[in-house]
Amino acid sequence: MQKNYSLSLSFHALLSIFVVTIAFSVGYFRGWQVERRSNEFALLAQVNDIVKNNFYGKLPDDDVLQRGAARGYVQAVSDQFTVFLDPPARELETQSLQGEFGGVGANLQRNESGDVVLTPIADMPAEKAGVQKGDVLIAVDGKTITKEMTIDQIIALVRGQINTKVMITVQRKSEKLDFTITRQRIELPSVSWRVLEKDSTIGYINVSRFTEKTPNEMKKAVEELQAKKISGAVIDLRGNGGGLLTSVIDTTKLFVDAGVIMIEVQKGEKEKFYNTSDKGVAADMKLALLVNKGTASASEIFAGALRDKGRAPLIGQTTYGKGSVQLIFPLLDSSSIHVTNALWYTPKLTPINGIGLKPDIEVQPGVDGRDPELDRAVEYLKETGK
């Protein structure tokens, strides 16, 4: 079975495949395992029999009942990051962390009435097909959209393989309209960057999450900003809920010299060190990091490593405090479970879990469109000679 490492505040997954195989040479173990499992779940089997034999009414399909049982089992562990994901949620999580998916190019949102309203994105397939802002989605490939369906379930219906077709039915005032749309690759960039208008010598880099594409996107951002002769940069991690372990390690390597980036500790195991041996392309760039209570997990690894190595101060508010690692197990029906497996620490062995990282320069969020955290970061870079 594959195990993938997740470092995310919400559903984030798919990384560092770790396969463990244990071989036994006799059939005795198999028989013992079956007997043991049947004894372990005798109560669940009994409940299943009682409900199926006595419930007055139509029961859900077996797969729905099994997922309900799986969800309840995982919830009983009482760890907020050990979770069960239904197939639609797992698929959306996977797409988000891959940084692309097959879609029609429209945002979906429920209004106060519970209707799913479409907003097509300019020059994307939905707009080109004739979908208009405010159209209410009522069916996908003939499947009626109900108020009981979650947005994740509806999005999963609309998305699919690139170059495949999907028919969406919308209500536009008194008209019911069908649109057959060919899905195209929709990219979800995790890094955006620019030179600040208030000071053309300072770059601004926003990292929304750590996906498979983040290291390359960050390298491109750094190279383009360096080409514009910037002498310092603000990296914005506010609201970054995490992502992939390999991604944040590779991204951090761009900004540091050789040494430890992160330390992982599993119960009963020796400490595992994540290191880099080379000097990163931006190891000499002057930096300031923006953080807040939404900065979590993988983004805390990035922030903790750069601060411990003296590369940048943290400016803003105390981070979320998710210092745990989850293994991701895909299940038979395309659902998955995340299981907390280890804790991680900064290079100086600073604990994070349940604590977070306190900023070096505390600044409260602004109002009315003001951004005092960014202003303070720019001020810091100027004070230190950029």
Which of left, alpha, beta for 152 (phi over 0: left; psi -120 to 50: alpha)?
alpha
Pairing of strands 184-187, 100-103: antiparallel
Is-catalytic flag, 322? yes
- For 207, counting Cβ atoms within 10 Å of its Cβ (0-12 exposed, 13-18 middle, 19+ buried), the class is buried
Distance CA 296, CA 353 (A): 10
297 among known catalytic residues? yes
Contacts of 199 (CB under 8 A, 6+ apart): 378, 382
Q: CA–CA separation, 217 vs 237, rounded Å?
A: 15
Tell me which of 297, 299, 324, 336 is the catalytic residue: 297
| Secondary structure (3-state) at 20 | coil
Quote the CA–CA distance of 159 and 83 in Å, as a whole number.
24
Q: Which of 210, 7, 14 lies closest to 93, judged by CA?
A: 14
Q: What is the DSSP letter of 330?
A: E
- DSSP-H helix ranges across 142-213: 151-158
Q: How many CB atoms lie within 10 A of CB 370?
A: 10
**Choosing from 219, 253, 322, 335, which is the catalytic residue?**
322
**Residue 7 contacts residue 18 (beta carbons within 8 Å):** no
Residue recorded with tokens 């390359």: 216
- For the question of residue 8 being annotated catalytic, the response is no
Length of the chain: 386
Q: Specify the DSSP class assigned to residue 118.
A: E
Question: Per the residue annotation, which of 236, 308, 335, 336 is the catalytic one?
Answer: 308
Residues identified as active-site? 297, 308, 322
